[in-house]
Amino acid sequence: MQISVRVLAATTACLLTGGVPLVAMAATAPMAKRVVVANVEPQAKHGARNVGELAGNAPMHVAIGLKLRNQAALQQLIGELYNPSSKQYGHYLTPQQFRQEFAPSASEVEAVSTYLRQYGLKVQSDSHNNLVLDVKGTAMQMEHAFSIREHQYQEGSLDFYAPSQVGTLPASIAQYVSGVVGLGEEPMTGHLTMTKRSASATGGYTPAQIQTAYDYKPLYSSWAGRGQTIAIVTSGSVNVSDVDAFDSAFGLPNPLIRQRVIDGTSTAPGDETTLDCEWSHAIAPTASLAVYEAATPDAAAFIDAFNQVASDDGAHVVTTSWGAPESQTPSSTIDAEHSIFEEMAAQGQSVFAAAGDSGSSDGLAGNHVDYPSSDPYVTACGGTTLDAASDGERLSESAWTDGGGGQSAIFGQPSWQYGPGVPVTGARQTADIALNANPATGYDFYYEGTWEIAGGTSFVAPEMAATFALIDQSRALKGKPPVGLADIGIYAMARNASYRNFAFHDVTSGNNGAYAAGVGYDHPTGWGSIDAYYFVHGLNG
């Protein structure tokens, strides 16, 4: 599946400039009696062993993405929202406006729901944008509705279920569906690399050291995130007492943390969730945190969680440290989530994702990027190895060997993605930006009553989200709208040599396997790490 990006020609006079990814989805197949809506390939093709059919009464949950209406008009509007010469600039949509103009209609939702209910499936939508339907039932009911057979598979130590053929729907119903996710188990993974446990909060980098290394401290007299909310999309809960202990050790205020469980009941505390809370809070100490916890770490639950964030529209910045290789993510999953990220762009929400912790291969043979960081509406956060003095003074920085980054095989090159060093290949390039991620130069965090030292791009995504919370606060105090799609501002500033030389630390040494760091843009680190003082001032309008 190739997603092309239409170029928006726009002349601007400020940093938040350039076009946005105007994405045209691949044309659908000619209308037929039944149409493929879930392209989960038979797992035997990938070496998994079929161990028999899944029990007919086994419970299943799928997420069905519905197609946006007026797609061309939405892409045109997004272009105007981010074009300073347009009267629409910065006048982002509310969820109500988005639903009225672009969300699937009530009749479309009802047509799909009625079809599914005739097989005994339970259908509901907890969000206001109609983009995702939650469908629950038994394996047998799913088999009948989607014309599949569910089987159990084994691959190494993994046991999972998947259909033995692609899922289909009648053409009259499939015309409204962007993808069906959950007919096979699609696990998401966190990008956290543990190194060791520590008896005290002194083994890894502390908040004060990172604040000094990346020049955050001068900002805090004016902007520390007050009035901003950072949405954290994750799996696993957070024990607030862990965050309180982290704050107490480093002299940070206790944040307001709201937790919402998606698709089930709350699970045990997770290390990914804990570090996201602690380190987004460390960078934006007075921002509030909204944790959207997927009850299970699978693609269907994460789609529902992202969709809830878009539907609520209560946070201008969104972060996730979870992902999977783009090449192993079914197009039905990508299509469903892409619509959600498109809504977020229209609503002025900035989305940040870890670029991966397995180098240029993303843990596979060949070169692969990580998803969702490869989506053009998402900022891909890469990793560096930071050498800092005991007081936090930045001494040197190189690309982290295991940091993600490369070229998407799915998404076209957005119109804003150009500048010194950016490959012009017609494909989306990652990473966009980077901060320290090497576990050998890892971070302190407190989890389940114990100090840990860890690294990974899991730390970079929440830190960059928190950075944009500072920017949005500074803009709000000037009566300006939030940044929204962050990459437009990042790349515009990087193209301006005056800003680039102050706002970015150009990382020119190291590699992530296939790709080396170099002058200007590079895959392991994007535009490099940031000097937060100049970076925030450059984007605060």
pLDDT tier, 29 (very low <50, low <70, confident <90, very high otherwise): very low
Q: Does the residue 25 lie in any domain?
A: no
pLDDT tier, 40 (very low <50, low <70, confident <90, very high otherwise): low
pLDDT tier, 330 (very low <50, low <70, confident <90, very high otherwise): confident
Please say if the pLDDT value at position 15 is more than 60: no
Please say if the pLDDT value at position 424 is more than 70: yes
Q: Does the residue 75 lie in any domain?
A: no
Q: Is 20 helix (H, G, I), strand (E, B) or coil?
A: coil
39-48, 242-251, 291-300, 409-418: the lowest-pLDDT one = 39-48
Distance of alpha carbon 462 from alpha carbon 335, whole angstroms? 24
Q: Are 529 and 436 in contact (CB under 8 A)?
A: yes
Question: Which of 181, 214, 236 is the C-terminal boundary of a domain?
Answer: 181
Residues 6+ apart with CB under 8 A from 490: 379, 432, 433, 526, 527
Whether residue 357 sits in one domain with residue 393: yes
pLDDT tier, 352 (very low <50, low <70, confident <90, very high otherwise): very high
Please say if the pLDDT value at position 143 is more than 80: yes
How much of the chain exceeds pLDDT 90, in percent?
A: 79
Lookup: tokens for 372: 């969702």
Whether residue 151 sits in one domain with residue 50: yes
Whether residue 236 sits in one domain with residue 150: no
Q: Are 458 and 322 in contact (CB under 8 A)?
A: no
Distance of alpha carbon 502 from alpha carbon 341, whole angstroms? 30
Residues 6+ apart with CB under 8 A from 497: none
Residues 6+ apart with CB under 8 A from 221: none
Whether residue 461 sits in one domain with residue 426: yes
Please say if the pLDDT value at position 17 is more than 50: no
Lookup: tokens for 155: 């691959």
Per the model's pLDDT, the better-predicted residue between 200 and 175 turns out to be: 175
Distance of alpha carbon 246 from alpha carbon 265, whole angstroms? 26
Q: Does the residue 244 lie in any domain?
A: yes
Q: Does the residue 91 lie in any domain?
A: no
- How many distinct structural domains can be found in the chain? 2
Distance of alpha carbon 334 from alpha carbon 356, whole angstroms? 17
CATH value at residue 54:
3.30.70
Please say if the pLDDT value at position 80 is more than 70: yes
Whether residue 298 sits in one domain with residue 246: yes
pLDDT for the residue numbered 171:
94
Residues 6+ apart with CB under 8 A from 114: none
Mean pLDDT calculated for residue range 75-91: 96
153-171 per-position pLDDT tens digit: 887 777 889 898 888 999 9
Lookup: tokens for 188: 């998401």
Per the model's pLDDT, the better-predicted residue between 499 and 27 turns out to be: 499
Whether residue 137 sits in one domain with residue 239: no
- Cα-flanking dihedrals φ and ψ of residue 383, to 5°? -130, 150
- For residue 142, the enclosing domain spans 32-68+103-181
9-23, 133-147, 353-367: the lowest-pLDDT one = 9-23
Whether residue 535 sits in one domain with residue 400: yes
Question: Which of 148, 181, 214 is the C-terminal boundary of a domain?
Answer: 181
CATH value at residue 517:
3.40.50.200
Q: E strands along 208-363, which residues? A: 229-235, 257-262, 288-294, 317-320, 322-325, 350-354
Q: Are 423 and 406 in contact (CB under 8 A)?
A: no
Whether residue 174 sits in one domain with residue 229: no
Mean pLDDT calculated for residue range 64-75: 95
Whether residue 212 sits in one domain with residue 112: no
Please say if the pLDDT value at position 147 is more than 70: yes
Whether residue 329 sits in one domain with residue 467: yes
Whether residue 309 sits in one domain with residue 240: yes
Mean pLDDT of the residues in the chain: 90
Q: Does the residue 473 lie in any domain?
A: yes
Mean pLDDT calculated for residue range 506-535: 98
Nearest to 322 by CA among 273, 252, 287: 273
Q: What global pTM score does this model have?
A: 0.91
Q: Does the residue 265 lie in any domain?
A: yes
Beta strands 322-325 and 189-190: pairing type? antiparallel
pLDDT for the residue numbered 154:
86
How much of the chain exceeds pLDDT 70, in percent?
A: 89
pLDDT tier, 6 (very low <50, low <70, confident <90, very high otherwise): very low
Diameter over CA atoms, the chain:
68
Lookup: tokens for 379: 């900022």
pLDDT for the residue numbered 87:
96
243-265 per-position pLDDT tens digit: 999 999 999 999 999 999 998 88
* Torsion angle defined by CA atoms of residues 520, 525, 527 and 529, in that order, rounded to the nearest 10 degrees: -120
Q: What is the length of the chain?
A: 541
Q: Does the residue 74 lie in any domain?
A: no
Whether residue 364 sits in one domain with residue 240: yes
Q: Are 400 and 437 in contact (CB under 8 A)?
A: yes
Question: Which of 129, 161, 181 is the C-terminal boundary of a domain?
Answer: 181
Q: Are 124 and 61 in contact (CB under 8 A)?
A: no
Q: Does the residue 87 lie in any domain?
A: no
Residues 6+ apart with CB under 8 A from 458: 190, 191, 192, 272, 275, 276, 321, 354, 357
Mean pLDDT calculated for residue range 284-299: 94
